Chain A
Amino acid sequence: MASSLIDGNSILAIDVGAANTRAVFFDVVEGEYRFVASGIAPSTAEAPYKDVSEGVRNAIGNLQAILGRALLDNSRNLITPSQPNGSGVDALVATLSAGPTIRTVLVGLLKDVSLESARRLAESTYMRIVETLNISDRRKPDQQIDAVLRARPDLIVIAGGTDGGASRSIQKLLEPIGLASFTMPDDKRPAVLYAGNEKIEEEIKTLIGSLATSLHFSPNVRPSLDTEDLEPAQRELARMTINIRKRQIRGVDLLDSWSGGHLLPTAYATGRMVRFLAKVYSSKKGILSVDLGASAAIISAGFSDKSTLNVYPQFGLGENLTGLLNYTKLEDILRWSSLDVSPGVLRDYMYQKAMYPSAIAATKEDLAISQAIARQALYLAMQSARRDFPRNVAGIKPTLTPLFEPILAGGGALSDASRPGQGLLLLLDSIQPVGVTTVIIDQNNLLPLLGVTASQNNILPVQVLESGAFLSVGTVVAPVVSAAYGTPILRATLTYENGTESRMDLKYGSLETLPLSSGEAGKLTVQCLRGADVGFGPGRGGTIPVSGGALGVVFDGRGRPLDLPADGVRRRELIKKWNWTLGGE
C-alpha cells in the first residue's frame, strides 16, 4: 500500500486510457515538484489481456527505462516507498477512463428539473443514458419494468424531490426500478445512486436497498427548486464509477490498492483540477479545459461561482466513433477537411477506425480526415457543454463561447498533433474562443493526474503547472465582428520587453501571427475597427499584457461564429492557407 502523499517526495501517477496507459513520474527537483518523465504502453483493458494491470506494469516498465530507476520488483510489483538505493516511489495516484460506456438509467420527478439535474450529474462520468423515468411517463409500471430490463443498466441515478418535499411520487417511480432489479440475476443488478429528497433515504433503503449491487446516497442535487448542487454527488458517482469498473475489468482493484484508494475517473480528476484552478486563479473569465481522446470528449469549465464537467463518450474518437453519425452529418465533418474527400470514404474511414481505436494516422491523408472528425466531435461537445454553463458568465455575445483565460487542451487528438499550430487550429475551429485568451496544450496529458494528486498534495499541482510542463501555444486574439471578407477589422502593436515593436493589420477572414517566444512577455495594443469587439466593448481597443508561446500572438479574424465558405474548393484552399499560417505545410 502506498504511503500518504503528504510525507512522500516522489509520486508516480498512472492514467489508464482507452488506447494508452501512461506512467508519469513527479519528484522534487531543487526544492520544487517537477514533471520528470513519462512512460507509455498500450492499454490492456480489452481482450486478450482483459486486465489493466498488464498495461500499467508495461508503462511503468517503459518509464523505468527512461528514468534508469527501478519502480517494479522482480515480481513486477510496485516498490514503495522509495528505497535508499534509489529504487521505488513514495506514493502512487491513478486515473482511469478505459472501459465500456456505463449504461445508465435516469430517474427524476420532473423532466425539466430533477431529471435535468440527474442528466448533468450522470454526464460527469463515462455513461450513456439508456432509459429515463419521470413522473409524466405515461407507460404502465410493467412497461417501465420491461424497459429497464431491456436497458440492462450498470447504473441507476435517482434524483427528485426537494429536501422535505414530495416523497410519494418518487417512491412510486422507484417501484418499477426495484421490481426490475429483483428479477435480474444478482451479478447483473445495477449500482444505484440516490441524490434526491434526503428525508426519505430510509424508505429508499427499504425499497431498493437489498436489490442493487450497491446503493449509495449523496446530498440532494436539487435541495430546492432553484438550487442545484452537483459536486457532492459527482464525488460519490466518481467512486461508484471505479467500483463498476472493478466489476467489469480485472486489475482495476489492484490499481486502486496500489494508489491507496486514490484512483479516480480521468474526467472527474480533470474537473477537480479545473475547479481548483478556478479558485486559485479567480478572475472574471472562466477557465476551460477540453480533452478529446478515444474514450470521450471532456469539457470542464470553472467559473467564479460554479464549475461544470461534461463527459461525452458519444463524441470520443475510439470505439464509439460511428455513433458520432447519430449527432452529425458526414458533410458537416467534411467541411473541416483540407482534402476533397467523399462522404462515402469518410464513412468507411469512421467504421474502420472504430474497429482499431489505438491506431494512428500514418499518412497525411489519414491525418487530414482524423483531424476533420476531431474538429466536429469537439465542436459538438462544446455546443452541448455550453447549455450547462451559468447564465451570468462573462462573454461578448450570449450565443458565442464565453470569455475564458486560459484554455487548456489535452487528450490524444490535441496533444498528439504533430505541430502546435495543428492543435491550435483544431481548437480555434471547434471551440471558437472569443476575445483574448491564452491557449495551453497539455502535451503530456498531466491535468487529470494533477487533479487526482490535488486532494492529497496541493503543492504539487501548482508547482508542476508553473514549471513549464505544459506547452504554451500563445495568446489568441479573436475579435467578434461582422464584416466583408478582406475588410480590415483590427490593428495591433506588440511591444516587446526590449522596447521594439511589431505591427499587424488583421483583415476579416484571415489568421495572422506576431512572434513572441515562450517565456517572453509583451504589451499588446489593439485598435478595433468596424465595431470589432475583443472584450473591451464594440469598437473599443486597449493595451493588455500578453505572454508568449510556441506561436506567439495569434489573431483569428475569421469571425464568430466561424462561417466557412459553402464552396468546397474555396473552403479547402482557405483551410490550407490557415494551416500554413500556423506553421503547417
Chain B
Amino acid sequence: MQAPVHHIVGLTSIVRERLLPVSGTVLARLNQKVSPTDVVAEATWSREHVLLNVAHQLHVRPEVADRLIKFNFKDMVPANAEVAIGEGLFPRVVRAPREGRVAAVGGGQVLLEVGESKIELRAGIPGTVIEIVPNRGVIIQTAGALVQGIWGNGRIDSGLLVNIAEKPDGVLTADRLDVSLRGSIILAGMVKDAEALQAAAELPVRGLILSSLNPSFIQLAREMRYPIVVTDGFGSMPMNSAAFRLLSTNAKRDVTVNAEVFDRYSGARPEVIITLPISSEPPASREVETFAPGLQVRMRRPPAMGMIGVISAIKPGLTTLPSGLHAHAADVKLENGETVVVPLVNLEVVG
C-alpha cells in the first residue's frame, strides 16, 4: 500500500514555486541567486469596483451613452475626470468618483477598477531561480533541512532560529518571551493561551514554530503578522521527536518559516527550511513511499498519536483493531521500545 510522506529530513533538495495570486510582472532572472527578502515578482490588484451607469445618469439610451463615453477598455481614469458628457445646451456630466482603470465598458455603463494596490512577491527562501513562470512568478531551488508542519497562518519570514523549548512538550508562555528574542524565529512548543501569541507580536518575533495550538486561538494566530507553523496538531501535543531533534540541533542558524496554509489538493504545506552549505546537490525526498518494514513513521491518530516509530512488520490480511474495526495494519515499534498495532491509513512515512 502506498504511503504519504511527511518531510522531516536533515538534508534534501528543495524546489518551491513562488507565484503571484494574479497575473503580474516577474522581476527575477533565470539562474539568479535570491535571498528570502528579494522581490521576485510584482503585480497591481484592485479589490473594488465602481459601476457608472452613464446612460441612466445622462438620460439617454445605452447605445447613445456608449458614443459619449470618453474612455476605452483598460484606460486609466483620474479621479473626478469627465467620463461622459451629455448633449444639449446644459449637458449633464458623468465624472469618475475615484481614480481607476476601465475594467469594462459597454451597454451604456463603465466599470472602473479602483483602490489599486501593489503586491510584492518575495523569494521566501534563499536559493537559485531555476524556472520563470511567465507573468506569475518563479521556481526556486535550494538545499537544506526541511520540516513540514500541519498548520500555517499564511505568512513567511526568515531569521535566526532560537530554541526556547527545552523539551518536546514545552509550553510557550508570555513571560518566556523577552527582548533578547526580538527578530528571531522561535522554536517554542505548545501554545495554550492568547497572551503568548500577543507577546510574540509585541516584541516582535520573525516567526513561531509550535508543536501544537489550542484551536480556540486559530483565528488569533491567523491575524498575527509573523509566520506561525504548527508541526504536530491541535490541543496539547508535544513536538514529534524527529522534528524537535532536527530543529533544536539547528538552533542559531538562519531559517525560513513559510507558514503556507495547508491545501490538501495543491499540496501546499507549512514548512521550515534551513538552508545548508553543500558540495553537491542532495537528492530530493520522495513524495510517496510503499509501506514496508524498517520505514520510519508517524502516527496520525491514537494510539501513540504524533509519536515516531519504525514499522517492524506489515500484518497479513485485515487486522481487527481494539475499536472493532478491520483494517490493513502494521506493528510499529516506538522509540520507547513499546510496539503498537496501527492501521496503515493512520500512518505517514517520515523522510
- Complexed CA–CA distance, A361 and B53 (Å): 59
Q: Is the CB of A352 within 8 A of B235?
A: yes
Q: In the complex, which residues 1-38 of chain B have their Cβ closer than 8 Å to any Cβ of chain A?
A: 1-2, 4-5, 22-23
- Distance in Å: Cβ of A567 to nearest Cβ of chain B: 27
Name the B residues within 8 Å of A48 (CB-CB).
Answer: 4-5, 267, 287-288
* Residue interface mask A227-261, B partner, CB < 8 A = 1: 00000000000000000000011000000000000
Name the B residues within 8 Å of A41 (CB-CB).
Answer: 1
**Closest chain A residue, CB of each to CB of B301:** A359
Q: Is the CB of B104 within 8 A of A363?
A: no
- Complexed CA–CA distance, A348 and B235 (Å): 5
Q: Is the CB of B23 within 8 A of A185?
A: yes
Partner of B322 from A149, A185, A364, A419 at Cβ < 8 Å = A364
Name the A residues within 8 Å of B216 (CB-CB).
Answer: 347
Name the B residues within 8 Å of A140 (CB-CB).
Answer: 51
Q: Tell me, yes or no, whether B323 is within 8 Å of chain A by CB.
A: yes
Question: How many residues of chain B have a CB within 8 Å of chain A?
Answer: 51
Q: Is the CB of B288 within 8 A of A360?
A: no
Q: Tell me, yes or no, whether B48 is within 8 Å of chain A by CB.
A: yes
Q: Which of B233, B288, B302 has the largest count of A CB atoms less than 10 A from its CB?
A: B302
Q: Is the CB of B345 within 8 A of A367?
A: no
- Distance in Å: Cβ of A303 to nearest Cβ of chain B: 35
Name the B residues within 8 Å of A47 (CB-CB).
Answer: 263-268, 287
Partner of A179 from B51, B151, B327, B342 at Cβ < 8 Å = B51
Q: Is the CB of A360 within 8 A of B346?
A: yes
* Residue interface mask B259-294, A partner, CB < 8 A = 1: 000111111100000000000000000011000000
Q: Is the CB of A248 within 8 A of B343?
A: no
Interface residue tally on A, bucketed by range: 35 or more
Are A365 and B104 also in contact (CB < 8 A) when A49-B288, A319-B264 are? no
- Complexed CA–CA distance, A45 and B266 (Å): 10
Q: Tell me, yes or no, whether A58 is within 8 Å of chain B by CB.
A: yes
- Complexed CA–CA distance, A49 and B287 (Å): 9
Partner of B327 from A248, A360, A422 at Cβ < 8 Å = A360
Are A361 and B325 also in contact (CB < 8 A) when A141-B51, A351-B215 are? yes
Q: Tell me, yes or no, whether B150 is within 8 Å of chain A by CB.
A: yes
Are A183 and B235 also in contact (CB < 8 A) when A359-B301, A365-B302 are? no
Q: Is the CB of B235 within 8 A of A416?
A: no
* Residue interface mask A37-75, B partner, CB < 8 A = 1: 000011001111110000000100000000000000000
- Complexed CA–CA distance, A145 and B301 (Å): 44
Name the A residues within 8 Å of B267 (CB-CB).
Answer: 46-48, 50
Q: Tell me, yes or no, whether A344 is within 8 Å of chain B by CB.
A: yes
Are A363 and B346 also in contact (CB < 8 A) when A348-B234, A418-B323 are? no
Q: Which of B48, B111, B236, B343 has the largest count of A CB atoms less than 10 A from its CB?
A: B111
**Closest chain A residue, CB of each to CB of B305:** A352
Q: In the complex, which residues 239-266 of chain B have their Cβ closer than 8 Å to any Cβ of chain A?
A: 262-266
Q: Is the CB of B51 within 8 A of A362?
A: no
- Complexed CA–CA distance, A41 and B290 (Å): 13
Name the B residues within 8 Å of A505 (CB-CB).
Answer: none
- Complexed CA–CA distance, A42 and B267 (Å): 16
* Residue interface mask B215-229, A partner, CB < 8 A = 1: 110100000000000
- Distance in Å: Cβ of B117 to nearest Cβ of chain A: 14
Q: Is the CB of A146 within 8 A of B49?
A: yes
- Complexed CA–CA distance, A347 and B301 (Å): 14
- Complexed CA–CA distance, A329 and B104 (Å): 46
Are A179 and B23 also in contact (CB < 8 A) when A142-B49, A363-B323, A418-B323 are? no
Partner of B324 from A58, A145, A149, A367 at Cβ < 8 Å = A367
Q: Is the CB of B235 within 8 A of A362?
A: no
Name the A residues within 8 Å of B341 (CB-CB).
Answer: 362
- Complexed CA–CA distance, A42 and B22 (Å): 34
Q: Tell me, yes or no, whether B64 is within 8 Å of chain A by CB.
A: no
Are A361 and B264 also in contact (CB < 8 A) when A141-B51, A182-B104, A352-B234 are? no
**Closest chain B residue, CB of each to CB of A55:** B2
Q: Tell me, yes or no, whether A358 is within 8 Å of chain B by CB.
A: yes
Q: Tell me, yes or no, whether A345 is within 8 Å of chain B by CB.
A: yes
Partner of B265 from A50, A367, A422 at Cβ < 8 Å = A50
Are A352 and B233 also in contact (CB < 8 A) when A47-B264, A47-B267 are? yes
Name the B residues within 8 Å of A362 (CB-CB).
Answer: 301-303, 321-323, 325, 327, 341-343, 346
Name the A residues within 8 Å of B196 (CB-CB).
Answer: none
Q: Tell me, yes or no, whether A356 is within 8 Å of chain B by CB.
A: yes
Partner of B103 from A182, A185, A249 at Cβ < 8 Å = A182
Q: Tell me, yes or no, whether B113 is within 8 Å of chain A by CB.
A: yes
Ordered by A's residue number, 9 sampled pairs between the chains whose C-beta atoms are within 8 Å are: A42-B345, A47-B268, A99-B265, A100-B265, A179-B104, A348-B215, A348-B235, A362-B322, A416-B325
| Chain A to chain B: the 9 pairs with minimum beta-carbon distance, closest first | A47-B267, A418-B324, A348-B235, A48-B287, A351-B234, A367-B323, A142-B51, A46-B264, A359-B301
Given contacts A182-B104, A185-B23, 15 further A-B contacts (CB under 8 A): A42-B1, A46-B264, A47-B266, A48-B4, A48-B287, A50-B267, A347-B215, A351-B234, A355-B150, A362-B303, A362-B322, A362-B343, A363-B322, A365-B302, A367-B323
